[in-house]
Chains A and B, each alone.
Chain A
Amino acid sequence: MMATKLLLIELTKLKRSQALLMTFLCPLSIVGLQFLMVLERGGRVVAEKGWISYWYGVTNLWYMLMLPLFVALITTLINATEHRSNGWRFMATMPVKRWQLFVVKAFISWLCIGFAVALMYLFASASILCLILIGYEATTPFSAPFVFDLPKVMLSIVPIVVIGHIVSWLFSSIVLPLVIGITMTVIAVTVANSTYWLYDPWTYHLAVTLFSYDDSSNLASIWGGVFGLTLLSVGATILNKRDIVD
């Protein structure tokens, strides 16, 4: 009951917030970029390689570049609301346990990310519809890979959401969590194709989608879920006992 109330409160905090704005803008920017590239080329690529190439263009940009950056950004923005407004002190005077707040905030970040991924697919589909309406044609039928991998993607990103959440909870500066996010995104692109991908949580969503092979998709999602929830429990236990000094 208390968790539901806390969840509603945290959702209220998203109203008119930068976090909510970015949840719309980030997927829109990726789809918009791909849309403009196709427009600029005059539909030649679509005619030759089909809508699948357009879809891959959007999802490649999203999963390799934007998603890990967006995770860093959203966890930072959601916690920055508290850092900016002395919110930690305010929430510490509410009848809720600190670990509940920690878990609910992580869950809100995770929900925003899920919403952004769903929006990305929606915007990509809408942009294809727009292209068809303005006369672009492809010889192959439309297909949309990765859409049904969304539940696995959401499990695989749990560790990086929790890591981003812990870092941005601990540090009021927005720079550090973003630098960590950018650095790990660059490293992940290199590691994802190697046999060491399991050691880097920033590659798990790639193992589910773009770099999927054999059982890597299942392994990344299951391991991501287990590792992520373990991190969440450890983080909640440690932060529950910490002093609130700022």
Chain B
Amino acid sequence: MNVIEFNQVSKSFQYHKVLSDVTFSVAQNSVFGFLGNNGAGKSTVIKLMLGMLNPSHGEIRLFNQPVKQVLPAGFVNIGCIVDTPVLYENLTASEFLSFSQRLKNLPRKEIERVLEVVDLSAYKKQSISGYSLGMKQRLAIANTLLGSPKLLILDEPTNGLDPQGMQDMRELLKYLPERAGCTVFVSSHLLSEIERIASHIAVIHGGEIVKQDSLDNLKGTSGELRISCLALSKANVVLSNANFHCSSDQDGDLLVSKVTREECAQVHHLLSKNKVDFWQSSFCQQSLENVFMKVSHQKAAS
């Protein structure tokens, strides 16, 4: 079942079209990474998903129903952070969390539970105005976790978090689908973070979805093999004869591109067989950042 579905959704503000025929779906119990440069339309997509904006064209469905039918009552099952954390600085953490707790009909102890999860229990009586940016972000995350939501929609959730906080967040998001049956939609600039937690990815550029697939399919199975050896030219000839794409880099290493993990063994075998000694070999799969940059550049060029 798809938890989120966008079918040819367009959005214009007066005469300015910010989204054009956006189509994607988010499967249940997946972590869906949504990537795009500043101004690409990420926040607009999230606002449309949350019913804050009305689409100019197309259909948006949440939990298999039109978004207008699901919301706002459906927010009982949805936790979200949109842009910078929304907090009332004159209140304490407990008072702030009581808003969602009351409106979602949750027991009071839920507040204690989520404060424990984000490690803010010790500060629950302190005014939010005295919180650091990271603490505010953790409090915003705590708010989204109230009541074990079925869908989390997070826009830049790791903003302001320290390395430990980012790691905790990563662990939390990665295992939410299997532990709590929760679907996670996360938008971020931090590609390395998304790469570690997401199972599916969509890339938006200039208001259009330019790529969407599972993370494994996007990154592909091939990568680059870097070999450090003395007999560089001999190695080059041996591998080129076997139809491998070879080049050398500034450090004097041999780069074999577009190889799979299985072909790496073949390369090693060929070098050994031809008595080419090498002291180091490392395989590097294509990163999400490479994929993102390539897709963005292709779109910009077209």
Q: Name A's B-contacting residues (CB within 8 A).
A: 2, 5-6, 8-9, 12-13, 15-17, 81, 85-87, 89-90, 92-98, 241, 243-245
**What residues of A have a CB within 8 angstroms of the CB of B100 in the complex?**
94
**What residues of B have a CB within 8 angstroms of the CB of A97 in the complex?**
72
Contacts A97-B72, A244-B47 known; 18 new A-B pairs at CB < 8 A: A5-B103, A6-B103, A12-B95, A13-B91, A15-B95, A16-B91, A17-B90, A86-B82, A86-B83, A86-B86, A89-B86, A90-B86, A92-B51, A92-B72, A93-B75, A94-B72, A98-B72, A243-B54
CA distance A96 to B103 in the complex (A): 8
- Tell me which residues from 43 to 81 in chain B have a Cβ below 8 Å from any Cβ of chain A: 47, 50-54, 72-76, 78, 80
**What residues of B have a CB within 8 angstroms of the CB of A17 in the complex?**
90
Query: Do the beta carbons of B52 and A89 come within 8 Å of each other?
Result: yes
Contact of B75 among A15, A81, A94, A244 (CB under 8 A): A94
Query: Do the beta carbons of B80 and A93 come within 8 Å of each other?
Result: yes
Contact of B2 with A by CB under 8 A? no
Q: Name B's A-contacting residues (CB within 8 A).
A: 13, 47, 50-54, 72-76, 78, 80, 82-84, 86-91, 95, 98-100, 102-104, 127
**What residues of A have a CB within 8 angstroms of the CB of B53 in the complex?**
243-245
Answer whether A96 and B47 are a contact pair too, CB < 8 Å, given A15-B91, A85-B89. Answer: no
Answer whether A95 and B89 are a contact pair too, CB < 8 Å, given A5-B103, A9-B99, A9-B103. Answer: no
Query: Do the beta carbons of A5 and B102 come within 8 Å of each other?
Result: yes
Cross-chain pair count, CB within 8 angstroms: 75
CA distance A9 to B127 in the complex (A): 17
Q: In the complex, what residue of chain B is closest to A16 when comparing beta carbons?
A: B90
Answer whether A81 and B84 are a contact pair too, CB < 8 Å, given A93-B50, A95-B73. Answer: no
**What residues of A have a CB within 8 angstroms of the CB of B89 in the complex?**
85
A-B CB contact pairs (8 Å), 8 listed: A12-B98, A15-B95, A16-B91, A86-B84, A94-B99, A95-B73, A97-B72, A243-B53
CA distance A94 to B105 in the complex (A): 12
A11 to chain B, nearest CB (A): 11
A94 to chain B, nearest CB (A): 5
B100 to chain A, nearest CB (A): 7
B175 to chain A, nearest CB (A): 24
